[in-house]
């Protein structure tokens, strides 16, 4: 397959509102650009726009958009980047492909959206990533199926269990299951400072499940995002390096992104995950790797396309377009 493979037809992106896109770094934006360059007609909707009515199938209020040429680096931030057509109510089965790119939180409303998308698949829609696969691989908990690659990890609602895990491992990271971009992540060292307060904040008196992991000192060298597309690893990752006194490498938390070739260890991890996850219906996956440990398996809206492309000259969006074209032939 070449990068000139055509993608004629109508492609629907289910994503956050267009006015929230930060196009200087947004991966969904460059996906749209890559598809449009190959002949695709791009449409957008939000999950709340999807509905089902008996006898009608799954439909959505969608907006056709035409992307303008990518603004220059010195263009004003409010430079228009697309032109919108009239909103229409269309059946999801009538699109060439539906791409689910809604950012977390992975909450009840997200789950409801995947059920509607599953019904759309039964109607005949082609959904990427597949709706059932999204439900079965929540951002944090997908790691449970791969314990051999994970750092010591605890998932619990029990405050006493969290304290016992800390006593055993001394230096731990606590995080909510529905966060993104480093939101709500805490580190507690051997002195246990503020552990009780942090548990109360995250655990909500047993109402919320918490993930706790042994702290990985290799974070100083970066939290690596490894992309798997169509069952194959992208040969470069983005190491997100914490800055100053921050423990989080997430770009949204101020981390510095440094693209790098995959190491031998990275390749081994990626090749273990890639074919298995692709067979489950996951066209695009983002692994978070610290040292040689996988800390998260991201399937909702993996990012870092632009950073890798800009720094390494490897066009990740084109690789994705190739994989999508190949998947649509099956």
- Reported as a single tens digit per residue, the pLDDT across 233-292 is 999 999 999 886 666 656 665 778 999 999 999 999 999 999 999 999 999 999 999 999
User: What pLDDT does residue 74 have?
Assistant: 86
Task: Answer yes or no: is pLDDT of 116 > 50.
Answer: yes
User: What pLDDT does residue 105 have?
Assistant: 85
Task: Answer yes or no: is pLDDT of 190 > 60.
Answer: yes
Q: Is 225 marked active-site? A: yes
Q: Is 175 marked active-site? A: yes
Which residue(s) pair with 42 in the sheet? Answer: 11, 65
pLDDT in tens, 309-326: 999 999 999 999 999 999
Beta strands at 57-67 and 153-156: parallel, antiparallel or unpaired: unpaired
Distance between CA atoms of 61 and 48, rounded to whole angstroms? 9
Same fold flag, 141-145+218-315 and 152-215? no
Task: Answer yes or no: is pLDDT of 2 > 50.
Answer: no
Q: What is the pTM of this model?
A: 0.93
Mean pLDDT of 73-85: 91
Domain locations along the chain: 9-130, 141-145+218-315, 152-215
Distance between CA atoms of 129 and 191, rounded to whole angstroms? 43
Distance between CA atoms of 154 and 57, rounded to whole angstroms? 41
- What average pLDDT does the structure give for the chain? 94
Mean pLDDT of 26-44: 98
Q: Is 248 marked active-site? A: yes
Q: Which residues contact 103 (CB under 8 A, 6 or more apart)?
A: 15, 16, 180, 300, 301
With contact defined as beta carbons under 8 Å apart, do 288 and 62 qualify?
Answer: no
pLDDT in tens, 252-268: 657 789 999 999 999 99
User: What pLDDT does residue 139 have?
Assistant: 83
Task: Answer yes or no: is pLDDT of 3 > 60.
Answer: no
Distance between CA atoms of 313 and 129, rounded to whole angstroms? 26
User: What pLDDT does residue 232 have?
Assistant: 98
Q: Is 93 marked active-site? A: no
Q: Exactly one of 59, 298, 307, 319 is catalytic; which is it?
A: 298
Q: Exactly one of 102, 248, 293, 319 is catalytic; which is it?
A: 248
Alpha helix ranges (H) inside 188-298 = 195-203, 264-279
Give the residue from 78, 109, 71, 87 showing the smallest Cα distance to 12.
87
> Which SS3 state, helix, strand or coil, does residue 184 take?
coil
* CATH code that applies to domain 152-215: 3.30.1490.20
b/e per residue 134-155 (b: at least 16 CB within 10 A): bbbbbbbbbbeebeebbbebbe
Task: Answer yes or no: is pLDDT of 149 > 50.
Answer: yes
b/e per residue 82-103 (b: at least 16 CB within 10 A): beeeeeeebebbebbbbbbbbe
Q: Exactly one of 59, 102, 240, 319 is catalytic; which is it?
A: 240
Q: Exactly one of 38, 130, 225, 293 is catalytic; which is it?
A: 225
User: What pLDDT does residue 170 have?
Assistant: 97
Tokens of 75: 């263009």
Q: Tell me the CATH architecture of domain 141-145+218-315.
A: 2-Layer Sandwich (3.30)
* CATH code that applies to domain 9-130: 3.40.50.20
Q: Is 250 marked active-site? A: no
């Amino acid at each position: 397959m070449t990068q000139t493979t055509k993608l004629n037809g109508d492609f629907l992106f289910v994503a956050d509102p267009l006015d929230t896109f930060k196009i200087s770094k947004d991966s969904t934006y460059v996906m749209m650009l890559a598809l449009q360059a190959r002949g695709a007609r791009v449409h957008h909707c939000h999950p709340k726009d999807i509905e089902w009515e008996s006898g009608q199938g799954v439909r959505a209020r969608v907006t056709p958009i035409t992307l303008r040429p990518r603004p220059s680096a010195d263009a004003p931030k409010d430079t228009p980047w697309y032109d919108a057509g009239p909103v229409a109510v269309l059946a999801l089965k009538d699109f060439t492909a539906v791409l689910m790119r809604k950012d977390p939180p992975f909450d009840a409303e997200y789950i409801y959206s995947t059920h509607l998308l599953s019904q759309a698949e039964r109607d005949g829609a082609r959904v990427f990533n597949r709706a059932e696969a999204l439900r079965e691989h929540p951002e944090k908990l997908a790691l449970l199926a791969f314990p051999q690659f994970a750092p010591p990890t605890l998932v619990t609602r029990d405050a006493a269990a969290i304290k016992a895990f800390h006593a055993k491992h001394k230096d731990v990271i606590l995080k909510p299951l529905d966060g993104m971009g480093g939101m709500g992540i805490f580190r507690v060292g051997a002195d246990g400072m503020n552990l009780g307060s942090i548990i109360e904040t995250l655990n909500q008196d047993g109402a919320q499940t918490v993930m706790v992991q042994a702290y990985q000192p290799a974070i100083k060298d970066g939290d690596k995002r490894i992309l798997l597309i169509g069952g194959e690893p992208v040969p470069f990752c983005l190491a997100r390096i914490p800055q100053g006194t921050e423990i989080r490498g997430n770009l949204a938390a101020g981390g510095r992104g440094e693209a790098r070739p995959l190491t031998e260890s990275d390749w081994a991890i990626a090749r273990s995950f890639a074919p298995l996850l692709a067979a489950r219906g996951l066209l695009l996956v983002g692994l978070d790797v610290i040292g040689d440990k996988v800390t998260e398996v991201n399937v909702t809206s993996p990012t870092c396309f632009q950073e890798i492309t800009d720094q390494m000259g490897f066009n990740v969006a084109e690789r994705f377009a190739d994989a999508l074209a190949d998947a649509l032939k099956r």
